């Protein structure tokens, strides 16, 4: 007998929001599984940030229901609800009069966690985000760079170990180099791999890099919900197709895996001792790995060579 399907971490049903005669969210229904990262994507003004803020009641919807771990969020006081949900915003929102360590430990303190436990948790998170507490813990937010402040904001969202984290354009205010570095730390942080996350971005490649599924909005309505590969290759409408068209080649690099291009790779290659890349690696990730060195790899469990040239030729052939 198959095991029962676990309930979703987040369930939204028939959600609506209006400002006067303007409909911002129009009868939205969707679920987010435990441990899943759902990215909200769409043009400016489509309702994605409003939707995110209804999830922790920073904005109260006009209709519909939101259930977090099976409980209607309206059954909790807003401040209690928010303390149990991590929240990261573009402007970081660190309290300027508190030190880095005090900012990170703020929510555990409000929840009554023992000070020693909070201090240990704060130190561990800062270390994992490349901000050693001995150096950064006593600094004020004004003494941090943008990338450092964003890392502190992420540590603060994780400090109380919430099961759900909401992120509103978390990397949007950073320059491209810092943005890439913080996003890499975000992807590689073990703390996040078991979290349920809902993330708003306007950056399409970023959405494809981080999402398990993408919810594409336009004019307050869901246009398509599914894995990035599905939205790119099986668009549900002309709007969905047009939305990704300008960046299609770069997005194909992110959704095409080494398994997809294996039939187009050469059949022989380097010595078995060469470093390997798994079949699930995207072409984009493989190119980045080759750029970081060594400049030649092999496909896992094979002797098939992987160089920049062989990857790009095979990728082109796979697209027809």
Q: Which has more confidence, 228 or 95? A: 228
- Express each pLDDT in 27-52 by its tens digit: 999 999 999 999 999 999 999 999 99
What's the token pair of residue 99? 């030190």
Q: What is the average per-residue pLDDT within 110-138?
A: 90
Task: Give bridge partners of residue 167 from the DSSP assignment.
Answer: 88, 199
Contact between 287 and 308 (Cβ < 8 Å): yes
Give dist(CA 173, CA 108) in Å, integer: 27
Could you say which DSSP state residue 7 is in? P
What is the CA 204 to chain-centroid distance, rounded? 12
Lowest mean pLDDT segment, chosen from 50-54, 149-153, 229-233: 149-153
Quote the mean pLDDT of the chain.
Answer: 89
- Express each pLDDT in 169-201 by its tens digit: 877 766 777 777 777 777 777 777 788 999 999
Task: Give bridge partners of residue 165 from the DSSP assignment.
Answer: 86, 197
Give dist(CA 289, CA 295) in Å, integer: 8
Q: How confident is the model at residue 89 (pLDDT cuts 50, 70, 90)?
A: confident
How are strands ordered across the β-sheet holding 22-32? 22-32, 10-19, 63-68, 71-72
Q: Is the pLDDT of residue 2 over 70?
A: no
Give dist(CA 315, CA 217) in Å, integer: 30
Q: What is the average per-residue pLDDT within 70-98?
A: 84
Q: Are β-strands 276-277 and 297-299 bridged in parallel, bridged antiparallel, or unpaired?
A: parallel
Q: Angle at CA 237, nearest 5°, toward 235 and 241?
A: 55
The total of other beta-carbon atoms located within 10 Å of residue 249's CB is 9
Q: What is the average per-residue pLDDT within 293-317?
A: 89
Q: Is the pLDDT of residue 1 over 80?
A: no
Q: Is the pLDDT of residue 86 over 90?
A: no
Give dist(CA 86, CA 159) in Å, integer: 8
Burial-class residue 140 by CB neighbours within 10 Å (0-12, 13-18, 19+).
middle
């Amino acid at each position: 007998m198959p095991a029962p399907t676990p309930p979703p971490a987040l369930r939204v049903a028939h959600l609506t929001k209006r400002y006067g005669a303007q409909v911002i969210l129009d009868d939205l229904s969707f679920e987010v599984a435990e441990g899943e990262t759902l990215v909200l994507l769409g043009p400016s003004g489509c309702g994605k940030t409003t939707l995110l803020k209804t999830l922790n009641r920073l904005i109260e919807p006009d209709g519909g229901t939101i259930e977090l771990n099976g409980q209607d969020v309206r059954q909790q006081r807003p401040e209690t609800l928010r303390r149990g949900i991590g929240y990261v915003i573009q402007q970081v929102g660190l309290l300027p009069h508190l030190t880095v360590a005090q900012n990170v430990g703020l929510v555990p303190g409000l929840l009554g966690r023992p000070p020693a436990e909070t201090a240990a948790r704060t130190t561990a998170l800062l270390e994992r985000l490349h901000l050693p507490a001995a150096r950064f813990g006593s600094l004020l937010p004004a003494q941090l760079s943008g990338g450092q402040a964003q890392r502190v904001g992420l540590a603060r969202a994780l400090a109380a170990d919430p099961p759900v984290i909401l992120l509103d354009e978390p990397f949007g205010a950073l320059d491209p180099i810092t943005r890439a570095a913080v996003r890499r730390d975000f992807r590689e942080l073990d703390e996040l791999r078991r979290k349920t996350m809902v993330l708003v971005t306007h950056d399409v490649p970023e959405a494809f890099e981080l999402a398990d599924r993408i919810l594409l909005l336009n004019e307050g309505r869901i246009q398509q919900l599914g894995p990035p590969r599905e939205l790119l290759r099986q668009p549900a409408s002309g709007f969905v197709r047009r939305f990704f068209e300008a960046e299609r080649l770069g997005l194909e690099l992110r959704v095409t895996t080494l398994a997809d291009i294996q039939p187009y790779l050469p059949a022989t290659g380097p010595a078995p001792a060469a470093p390997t890349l798994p079949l699930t690696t995207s072409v984009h990730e493989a190119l980045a790995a080759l750029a970081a060195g060594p400049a030649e790899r092999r496909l896992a469990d094979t002797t098939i060579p992987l160089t920049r040239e062989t990857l790009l030729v095979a990728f082109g052939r796979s697209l027809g």
